[in-house]
Structure 1
């Protein structure tokens, strides 16, 4: 039996690392390419420019993941099996900044936002005492539950698709779920570990048989091209209002990432300390600065991949390291990289339903250790999950609020997390104060 700490550092053979790493890539790939697609089209970039951004994005996703898992000097990273990708929180603000001030202002604000994260990450680490088990469990549960609507929308064909809700889409998503469930039921070991990958491949084959695959993106892509050149789309410009906006967006991402760190730590059996949070956020800050320099986007730790770890039980960080290198290699081969783009939304949706559901269950498992005979804990969990899930499924709730407020709270994960933190402070302040006095939570940051 492999102990949890040993499982985190377990070295696997290449023949296992490649499919396991590919599984992580497929779990985050849609999110990684959707941001450049949405932002690029909104800012009037050509198809060729958008394809270039996607290639650069893959390179920076891989590099950022390696910084987070392996570390570079002072930027040691959190060293958990986590994958970094484009922040969806920044999509709206980037489009607004780009339309108002030009694409250079977008990259200038991204760089400044990354520097902001680097500066305040040590201070953010001091807030660890405000994340007891009831808060952590609520946030993990909320991460899973708030992502389920994303999975369901994909299962139906993807928001905006002409055939949204088509029974054929739902049947494909159901087929993927059944494949994943059957593999987990009737197999074990390595086959079980790559059940998500098998489900996605099987679903894509079914979509091909039904004539639903569009290979135009593959045929139009170059076979080999190195696109990761700094300032490809111009030098950054610095506009104060844009910088302030992106700093707020970065703060939101820090809150989301902290929840993901706790969720991943809970699954792999690592106790997340203050210094771990600081290291993880430092790595994200550096990744964001790199994103601005390479004319891509802010990068954050993806919650999608937590579900992969939870479902497969493979906790080795070397799997994610392999995924990071594979992402960088894919960026050199646009034609191969574009293969993942052809995976239909219902296929990804079916896999996401299983993955995000397992994240929610991981949170519920964490909450099961909380003393709910204490009504204070009950209120913290109940209100935070209800608020966060409500915002996630009714995104227009803050439609009449100021733009800055919407940037901060239109994410259900952030709204729920803030609710949990504030309620815990108000209702459990005596316990928090006692914990601060009796434990040395503020460790020195390496």
Structure 2
């Protein structure tokens, strides 16, 4: 006679009683909310820095920047949920990852805006997103052409090239302004950075994981005391509202702009590939070709969705990858909870208006730290590269040099055709192209020697 096991399955087990993989275990609701909020706290500043930097460079008013921030949070949340939970066999890596606006796209977007206008920026983004979804599976098969020497160079240049944007926010963008680089602005920024350094050294637990957010809040409080804040436009913003599709008009698709954003999408793929594989390793669920392709396809989906909602292309956030390693919490439902929270924040325009009104020195100082951390991530990847008896040193050196040209000599390409300036005039795209081509030349296009016969 066969007996039936009436023992109730333990938490984290499937109906048959077999323990689920930690990635698929769902924590209790209260703990799930706290863990999701923690992920949001870690990535929030880095995510909203992108619309703030781009909005300032494009000369947008505070109300419009507030709309960009809200759309940015909404898309980040949407793609985070997709990456965590997945959509069939098409989208989502189904790992604990958080998506956020990629700094990779900032410089090309600014260049395209100056040459063609905002409708071209978002038209090129839509096209690049479609391109990303189409090439996600082939790219997953060609990942060997983006080894650490290429990925590390790309991420390093991303961080270094954006330092100037953070400095502009701190000092001001107009040298003729009497307030430019004033002691109040520089002192406030230095104080915020010093606070972050001290907290990084002495804080523990959740406090240590939210030092950027604490620096942002403390800096805003100090700026209010110094009379450097202006939240006058917040009262006119709505509490709730959906993203405004095609806010800047019907999208336009200049070929050079589209090509530039497609290159950006490939760089984002290179970034996400490194992070997705890292998360797979640390959670004990290795990322295969199918999982990688679904994760990259979600990046492509983010690009097109962002183009429609006037947001920004998303990538896997390194900060949250580090948080998974630090906390040991491997459940993908924690990041799904973070995604739902981001969606809710994106549907509150008043919150976006508050963030857009934060003083430049405060945003610039925390952005400076975040950009430095991005560069550090690239440097750590480059430290894994073998430089002995090969040409990897040449690849890194030349790619970094070419990538920094637009930073140290921003007017060098002014007399070149617009298509060239958009593609090669950006630090990130030019560095990736050089690293990719040189890696092919040195390591994949070698002439095979024929065996000599006696």
TM range (shorter): 0.7 to 0.9
Structure 1 residue aligned with 2:300, among 250, 265, 285?
A: 285
CA distance in 1: counterparts of 2:236 and 2:438, whole angstroms = 53
Please give the TM-score of this superposition, normalised by the length of structure 1: 0.78
Instruction: Establish whether residue 427 from structure 1 lines up as the match of residue 453 from structure 2.
Output: no
1:262-295 CA distance string (max 9 Å, x none): 453476464765545532332133233333444x
Contact preservation (8 Å) 2:69, 2:356: no
Contact preservation (8 Å) 2:299, 2:314: yes
Instruction: Establish whether residue 368 from structure 1 lines up as the match of residue 383 from structure 2.
Output: yes
Aligned to 1:436: none
Instruction: Establish whether residue 256 from structure 1 lines up as the match of residue 270 from structure 2.
Output: no
Contact preservation (8 Å) 2:257, 2:419: no
1:133-174 CA distance string (max 9 Å, x none): 322332232232223222333332456794332222222222
Contact preservation (8 Å) 2:280, 2:287: no
| 3-state SS of 2:412 partner | helix
CA distance in 2: counterparts of 1:280 and 1:393, whole angstroms = 35
Instruction: Establish whether residue 26 from structure 1 lines up as the match of residue 41 from structure 2.
Output: no
CA distance in 2: counterparts of 1:40 and 1:75, whole angstroms = 38
Please give the TM-score of this superposition, normalised by the length of structure 2: 0.77
Aligned length: 414
Select between 269-278 and 140-149 the one with higher mean Cα deviation.
269-278
Aligned to 1:300: 314
| 3-state SS of 2:162 partner | helix
Aligned to 2:255: 244
Structure 1, gaps ≥5 residues long? 434-446
Instruction: Establish whether residue 84 from structure 1 lines up as the match of residue 84 from structure 2.
Output: no
Which of 1 and 2 has greater Rg? 2
Instruction: Give 1:210 deviation, angstroms.
Output: 0.8
Instruction: Establish whether residue 165 from structure 1 lines up as the match of residue 181 from structure 2.
Output: yes
Contact preservation (8 Å) 1:231, 1:293: yes
Aligned to 1:17: 36
CA distance in 2: counterparts of 1:157 and 1:27, whole angstroms = 20
CA distance in 2: counterparts of 1:159 and 1:185, whole angstroms = 35
Aligned to 1:123: 138
Q: Structure 1 residues 432 and 216, CA, compared in 2 at 3 Å: closer, same or farther?
A: farther
Aligned to 1:438: none
Question: What are the residue-to-residue correspondences of 1:128-139 with 2, within 5 Å?
Answer: 128-139=143-154
Structure 2, gaps ≥5 residues long? 1-20, 449-454
Q: Structure 1 residues 94 and 268, CA, compared in 2 at 3 Å: closer, same or farther?
A: same
Aligned to 1:201: 217
Question: What are the residue-to-residue correspondences of 1:360-439 with 2, within 5 Å?
Answer: 360-429=375-444
Q: Structure 1 residues 132 and 8, CA, compared in 2 at 3 Å: closer, same or farther?
A: farther
Instruction: Give 1:414 deviation, angstroms.
Output: 1.6
CA distance in 1: counterparts of 2:435 and 2:25, whole angstroms = 32
| 3-state SS of 2:87 partner | coil
Q: Structure 1 residues 28 and 283, CA, compared in 2 at 3 Å: closer, same or farther?
A: same
Aligned to 1:142: 157
Structure 2 residue aligned with 1:220, among 211, 228, 236?
A: 236
